[in-house]
């Protein structure tokens, strides 16, 4: 893949993160192009990755084998219109990481080109992200591997068979960090209310969250089993979990993710209108 020219349109946090991950993995810096309308974003990109970007989208994609669209969804159609002529000529692989933009709409704006749609999340900024990917039927095996390599530079990747499942990925992992941040916030607040200093409540909460996540990732044991292993009959953990379940935590989580999935579908319909 190191011979491919990769053009990033959009150099915000996620674009910079993917570029930085590729370079850290040994991808040749000279094979990466980047564009952003904000000169300040280009300054940050240069400082953090050594890649010199441009404000000219069309020039950036002109010799690209892969085009990564890392722009805000509300700007996607306008950006696609500026790129369409060049993309239709060269037919690069297009990898979109914009939330709520369907591949059918990208194809309508860009023409008949191979398209992969991905939904990364913000922990990618630390190299521990999670991304779901969907490929249209005309994407080759090699192109799938290229798309996966770009996202894998910033964390874990999974492929979904149907594009609608990207909305579920959005609900689970795309929006997921905020759910855990909320839970950490609530645990910290409760600990402080019960008498801990704010600093101690925060440190204990964050380290516990980190430790629990590592146990779940590294043990190879499903979360339900881990939960049972640390829940002694008649103990404090059992009492706390019973309260959570009695107050409807399972139903709340299911309803929340369902709402997020539906909103993702609504956004796709909204941004795909023209």
**CA 27 – CA 3 distance, rounded (Å):** 9
Amino acid 274: pLDDT: 56
Q: What is the DSSP letter of 108?
A: H
CB 152 within 8 A of CB 124: no
Q: Scanning the structure block, which residue is given the tokens 């990917």?
A: 133
Amino acid 1: pLDDT: 67
Fold entry, domain 6-168: Rossmann fold (3.40.50)
Question: Torsion angle of alpha carbons 52, 54, 59, 65, nearest 10°?
Answer: 50
Q: Is 220 left (phi over 0), alpha (psi -120 to 50) or beta?
A: left
User: Domain spans of the chain?
Assistant: 6-168, 176-266
Q: Scanning the structure block, which residue is given the tokens 């398209």?
A: 115
Q: What is the CATH number of domain 176-266?
A: 1.10.3730.10
- 6-168 matches 176-266 in fold: no
Number of other residues whose CB lies within 10 A of the CB of residue 177: 14
CB 157 within 8 A of CB 97: no
Amino acid 107: pLDDT: 94
Give, for all 274 residues of the chain, the pLDDT tens digit. Answer: 668 999 999 999 999 999 999 998 899 999 999 999 999 999 999 999 999 999 999 999 999 999 999 999 999 999 999 999 999 999 999 999 998 899 999 999 999 999 999 999 999 989 899 999 999 999 999 999 999 999 999 999 999 999 999 999 999 999 999 999 999 999 999 999 999 999 999 999 999 999 999 999 999 999 999 999 999 999 999 999 999 999 999 999 999 999 999 999 998 888 876 5
């Amino acid at each position: 893949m190191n011979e491919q020219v990769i053009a990033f349109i959009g150099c915000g946090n996620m674009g910079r993160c993917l570029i930085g991950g590729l370079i850290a993995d040994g991808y040749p810096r000279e094979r990466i192009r980047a564009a952003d309308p904000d000169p300040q974003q280009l300054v940050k990109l240069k400082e953090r990755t050594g890649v010199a970007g441009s404000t000219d989208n069309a020039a950036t994609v002109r010799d690209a084998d892969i085009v990564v669209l890392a722009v805000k969804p509300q700007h996607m159609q306008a950006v696609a219109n500026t790129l369409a002529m060049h993309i239709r000529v060269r037919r690069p692989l297009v990898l979109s990481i914009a939330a709520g933009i369907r591949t059918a709409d990208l194809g309508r704006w860009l023409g008949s080109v191979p398209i992969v749609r991905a939904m990364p999340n913000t922990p990618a900024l630390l190299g521990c992200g999670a991304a779901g990917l969907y490929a249209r039927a005309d994407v080759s095996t090699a192109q799938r591997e290229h798309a996966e390599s770009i996202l894998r530079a910033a964390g874990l990747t999974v492929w979904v068979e149907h594009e609608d499942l990207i909305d579920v990925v959005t609900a689970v992992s795309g929006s997921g960090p905020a759910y855990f941040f909320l839970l950490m916030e609530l645990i910290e607040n409760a600990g402080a209310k019960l008498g801990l200093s704010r600093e101690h409540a925060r440190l204990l909460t964050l380290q516990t969250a980190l430790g629990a996540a590592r146990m779940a990732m590294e043990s190879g044991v499903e979360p339900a089993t881990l939960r049972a292993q640390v829940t002694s009959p008649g103990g404090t953990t059992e009492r706390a979990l019973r309260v959570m379940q009695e107050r409807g935590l399972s139903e709340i989580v299911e309803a929340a993710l369902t709402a997020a999935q539906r909103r993702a579908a609504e956004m796709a319909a909204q941004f795909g209108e023209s």
